[in-house]
Structure 1
Amino acid sequence: MSKRRKRSNLAGRRPLPQRRRENEWRDWPNLPTVLVDDIAGRLLLYDVAEYIRLRAACKEWRNCTADPSEGRNQLDPRFRPRRWIMLSNRTDGDGRRFLNLSTGASARVDLPELSRHHLETTTEGLLLLRDKANHAVRLLNPLTKALTDLPPVTEDLGGAYAVWSGPFQSAARIIYAGVSDETSPSSVVLLMADRHLGRAIAYANPVDQRWAVVDDEMWRPGIPMSCRFSSASTMQGRVYFVTVEGYIIQVRLCPEPRVVPVVVDQPNTKYNMFCYLVPPDDDHRRGGGMLMVRYYLNLYHLSDEERRIMTRRRKARDVIRVEHLVKEHRWNLIQVFEVDVAGKRLVPVEDIGRHRAVFVGDVACFSLSAKRFPCVAGNAIHMGALGARCPPVGVRYLADKTADPSFVFATDVPGLLDDISMKRYRQRIPELNLLPLARPCTLQEYLVCCAGVLGGLKD
């Protein structure tokens, strides 16, 4: 019976193609333009690096697809390497290593531009550079090598802003940046600060001659909502930032430039809290929306009774007990919220999905797939490296409410980070490098440095 069935199955199969069909010649370079455009669009949804490989395949495909390095395409949302991050900056030569958080692909890219510019910050995978000679600001796409020229940061920009104090060019630092698609062409938004605690938001696009500022009553001294930047993120072409107080603000450029409060009803934290905005991941439908992570150094924002309840044995899982710290900072707390922009509220989140890992820090916030990177713990918050002992919490696991101590690194200057945070020394010694205590380095070590230290971990 089995032989009969086998014969019948073989008899029902389609005949094998003839040899002449196997060797049939196809004119791949001269595919219809519509078909090439469709393939290119699908690749752009996946990764801009694949689109670049498509254009590099042959001259015909390159001629019928848009060049991402052309002036009008340099800030096109389709060509931004959103899911790419630079792992290291302090390497010998011009080579830098980049990692794709979605696909796991990595690439070493030669960037000679970094020798002539200061790396100020990153946004959507783009590097914001300031010229060492004339303070000109440029946006570099590390994959397409497109260099977008923006107006220089000059002293007269500070004079146009009433709250700003001191010379703008010499004292200002670009803390965060974002790309707003509300204008055409897209505009770059700079969140800036000076040493006197002045704050400003400036914006410009490649056709502008100078930067403009967003002037608003919110910035006036003495206003309760006077903004101090804590983190920034871009979602659906709009720029958002969170303040030290936990307010979430949108920078709106159209129809007129202004800042729009999104979430403002927050508890008084007495400056013991760090807030971080995490951009949405690839799949928003599966709990991958924009998140806000709160990290409390202590529990002083709670009443005495609330602290007693939180630190009781049955509630201890909600807080993190840190050993070998002074009494004031013995208890830490990490909270996660999903940002409901339409409802202008924060929704508490107890689970971000077993395949999502979030990294937060003063430099960058991002998430990746623990399924793509099995060595990274999923459903967990990884705190970016700020120094040798700050923050004391390294990884917070949301499923069982446990926590790991932070990673410890060395520096080029022995003993420099023993009792002080990286954030303070980064302003005085910009070339300071973090070094691993042991090699080979783990991917988590690289990523916590990318989140907390500009330039990442030294190779």
Structure 2
Amino acid sequence: MKMKEGGDWSSEWRRPHGSTKLGGLSMVPEWDSLPPELVQAVADRVLSTTGGVDAYMDMRAVCSTWRSAVAKPSPFAAVAGLRFRPRHWVMLDLQPDGLNDESRLFLHVPTGRFRRLHVPALRDNLVAGAADGLLVLADMYPPHLARVLNPFTGDMLHFPAALPRHFTFTSVKGGSHPTLVLLRWG
């Protein structure tokens, strides 16, 4: 590349302001032109990483072509399946931040990455706790039936049992028969 005296780039090499072309080539990525097999292979790799469900869901939002190539998990798989479990994600604020009652801050412990998620299900449910990146919720009104929500996919499992008034430990076991374990002391 040629330089003008004084160290400035030559105007003949500068890209015109607002242009999306450089040398006749488009500088706008054409994400939707990637083969679906490649997009799916990348999505599978992302999902296999620790805590990759957030990036997997972000991939679905890139464009309609990617959304069709990267399948949304079934509601059951999104909560009970370990593949879509938001492993190593911790919810940092159980209480609303005053600005948005449906927003919560999450931390990915291994990487130190933060995500503030908009969780519309919080409008109609009480936050009872969090376990393994999932939220344990209760219906707003008695008998306060238990729910487990994957905040990254928005999918929820409904349990037929009510949450006890006070409990100290929560665990969610995945697999073909998901189990919600609540321990109550005293």
TM-score surpassing 0.5? Answer: yes
Aligned residues of 1:123 and 1:179 also touching (Cα < 8 A): no
Determine which of 21, 28, 32 is the counterpart of 1:29: 32
The letter of the residue matching 2:41 is D
Query: 2:140 — aligned with what?
Result: 132
Aligned residues of 1:120 and 1:175 also touching (Cα < 8 A): no
Query: 1:39 — aligned with what?
Result: 42
The letter of the residue matching 1:84 is W
**Per the alignment, in what secondary structure is the counterpart of residue 147 of structure 2?**
strand
- C-alpha deviation, 1:64, in angstroms: 1.9
The letter of the residue matching 2:87 is R
Query: 2:12 — aligned with what?
Result: none
Alignment of 1:329-368 (within 5 A): none
Query: 1:61 — aligned with what?
Result: 66
**Per the alignment, in what secondary structure is the counterpart of residue 102 of structure 1?**
coil
Q: Deviations along 1:139-197, whole A, 9 cap, x unmatched?
A: 111122222222233xxxxxxxxxxxxxxx7666362212232xx2x4123132253xx
**Per the alignment, in what secondary structure is the counterpart of residue 38 of structure 2?**
helix
Q: 1:23 to 1:105 in 2, by over 3 A?
A: same
CA distance in 1, matches of 2:55, 2:120: 23
CA distance in 2, matches of 1:103, 1:170: 35
- C-alpha deviation, 1:119, in angstroms: 2.4
Identity across the alignment (%): 31
Give RMSD over aligned pairs. 2.7
User: TM-score normalised to the size of structure 1?
Assistant: 0.31
Aligned residues of 1:86 and 1:96 also touching (Cα < 8 A): yes
Query: 1:48 — aligned with what?
Result: 53
Residue 189 (1) aligns with residue 175 (2): no
Determine which of 77, 85, 88 is the counterpart of 2:82: 77
CA distance in 2, matches of 1:48, 1:89: 21
CA distance in 1, matches of 2:122, 2:26: 49
Q: Deviations along 1:117-156, whole A, 9 cap, x unmatched?
A: 3323322100111113132111111122222222233xxx
CA distance in 2, matches of 1:180, 1:112: 23
- C-alpha deviation, 1:60, in angstroms: 1.0
Residue correspondences, number? 157
Q: 1:59 to 1:194 in 2, by over 3 A?
A: same
- C-alpha deviation, 1:24, in angstroms: 9.3
Unaligned runs of 5+ in 1: 1-18, 154-168, 196-459
Unaligned runs of 5+ in 2: 1-22
Q: Which has the larger radius of gyration?
A: 1
Q: Deviations along 1:227-282, whole A, 9 cap, x unmatched?
A: xxxxxxxxxxxxxxxxxxxxxxxxxxxxxxxxxxxxxxxxxxxxxxxxxxxxxxxx
CA distance in 2, matches of 1:34, 1:112: 32
Residue 178 (1) aligns with residue 172 (2): yes
- C-alpha deviation, 1:26, in angstroms: 7.7
Which structure ranks higher in relative contact order (CA pairs < 8 Å, sequence separation ≥ 6)? 2
CA distance in 2, matches of 1:107, 1:25: 27
Q: 1:30 to 1:135 in 2, by over 3 A?
A: same
Alignment of 1:390-401 (within 5 A): none
Determine which of 128, 147, 152 is the counterpart of 1:143: 152
CA distance in 2, matches of 1:178, 1:129: 12
Aligned residues of 2:32 and 2:65 also touching (Cα < 8 A): yes
Alignment of 1:406-421 (within 5 A): none
**Per the alignment, in what secondary structure is the counterpart of residue 61 of structure 2?**
helix
**Per the alignment, in what secondary structure is the counterpart of residue 93 of structure 2?**
coil
CA distance in 1, matches of 2:123, 2:28: 48
Query: 1:101 — aligned with what?
Result: 109
**Per the alignment, in what secondary structure is the counterpart of residue 81 of structure 1?**
coil
